[in-house]
Amino acid sequence: MSYEKVERAKELTIGIKQTMKAVEAGLVEEVYLSEDADKRLTEKVQRLCEEKGVPVVYVDSMRRLGKACGIDVGAAAAAIKKTV
């Protein structure tokens, strides 16, 4: 469960909708999904990532993922954006 990579990332996308938009646009290097989030939401992101060939990393806690992203609330999904 690697939160360190998220903490060190230069640019992140946080949240289901924003992550899906970034994956669709081809801007994402890696996606992080929280295992304690609503499966109906995370499954949509997972399927999109499979279609686009984007690696998915599962983490155990929305709260810890949000904290790693630098926000005070939990995050169901986050993505590390590609560096230009």
Full DSSP string of 36-74: TS-HHHHHHHHHHHHHHT--EEEES-HHHHHHHTT-SS-
Give the pLDDT confidence score for residue 73 in this predicted structure.
Answer: 96
Give 10's Cβ-side CA count (13 Å radius). 6
- Report percent pLDDT > 90 for the chain: 85
Give the pLDDT confidence score for residue 1 in this predicted structure.
Answer: 46
Q: How confident is the model at residue 34 (pLDDT cuts 50, 70, 90)?
A: very high
Q: What's the pLDDT tens digit per position in 40-50?
A: 999 999 999 99
Q: What's the pLDDT tens digit per position in 42-75?
A: 999 999 999 999 999 999 999 999 999 999 999 9
Residue 5's identity, in one-letter code, is: K
With beta carbons less than 8 A apart as the criterion, state whether 46 and 16 touch: no
pTM equals 0.93
CATH of domain 4-81: 3.30.1330.30
With beta carbons less than 8 A apart as the criterion, state whether 54 and 23 touch: yes
Domain borders along the chain are 4-81
